[in-house]
Amino acid sequence: MRFVWASGSDTGRRRPKNEDSIHPKHDGRTSGSLMVAVADGMGGHHGGDVASSLAIKAAARRVGTPEERVRAANDAIMERVLEDPRLAGMGTTLTVAELRPDGEVTLGHVGDSRAYRWRAGRFEQVTIDHTFVQEEVEAGRLTPEQARHHPERSLLTRALGFEHGLVVEVARLKVSVGDRLLLCSDGLTSMVTDDRIAGFLESGAPSEVVWALIEAANRSGGLDNVSVIVVAVAEDEASGD
Ligand code: CA
């Protein structure tokens, strides 16, 4: 099998700058392993763009499991804050997925950026949001619909940049030919429902899907920065191209 991917990130319609960061920043295809990542930065004197960009760079540089990549990103942000205390308070989400040619996918994840698998019309979220409202849903105190509209829906219970003992969520899944993997920041999922997102994933090249999703978020208000990565799992072409 081979992976055909596309990625995009947009400031949206309301925010003054884009504090999301993604990896890779270019589209491509490979018959080898692929690492993709989304980070959604927040807060601090200089804003979250420093944190998300540091996280993505450290995660891409670190050779290791997605969990180790997330830890390296956390350490990089904390070291930077020690060097420059004016940056204190900055943090970021980080979702890293490593896809291997045998179809094994491993995720390392902290925060409320998400990964989903689309398979033959079934659309499944494979990360758990580290948010106050998600904990309330799990405890049975809020319904998913109430959580979606809750005023504190963006409040994170876990983020990079605040403690060395950060707990990284690890998930494993399989992909096969025809599947699609989506990584995105909450600027997509807070603007566009899962049902609509699933509809976009059904057809079109990854780059078309990425930009259609970003446009959908912006048409729905574009209240936040929006980042999207789509990986399509295709047949391997022995001849290459
Ligand atoms: Ca966001």
Give residue-wise pLDDT tens across range 200-210. 999 999 999 99
- Cis omega before residue 24 (within 30°)? yes
Residue 36 has pLDDT above 90, yes or no: yes
At 208, list the tokens: 């078309």
pTM of the model: 0.96
Ligand 1 centre from 133 Cα, in Å?
A: 15
Asked if residue 20 lies in contact with residue 9, where contact means CB atoms within 8 angstroms, the answer is yes
Q: What's the rounded mean pLDDT across residues 127-140?
A: 96
Residue 43 has pLDDT above 90, yes or no: no
CA contacts within 13 A on the Cβ side of 60: 15
Write out the E strands in the chain: 2-10, 20-23, 28-30, 34-42, 91-92, 94-99, 104-110, 114-119, 122-125, 169-174, 180-184, 226-234
Query: How much is the pLDDT for 241?
Result: 47
Ligand 1 centre from 89 Cα, in Å?
A: 16
Ligand 1 centre from 234 Cα, in Å?
A: 30
At 116, list the tokens: 């989903």
Ligand 1 centre from 43 Cα, in Å?
A: 11
Ligand 1 centre from 112 Cα, in Å?
A: 8
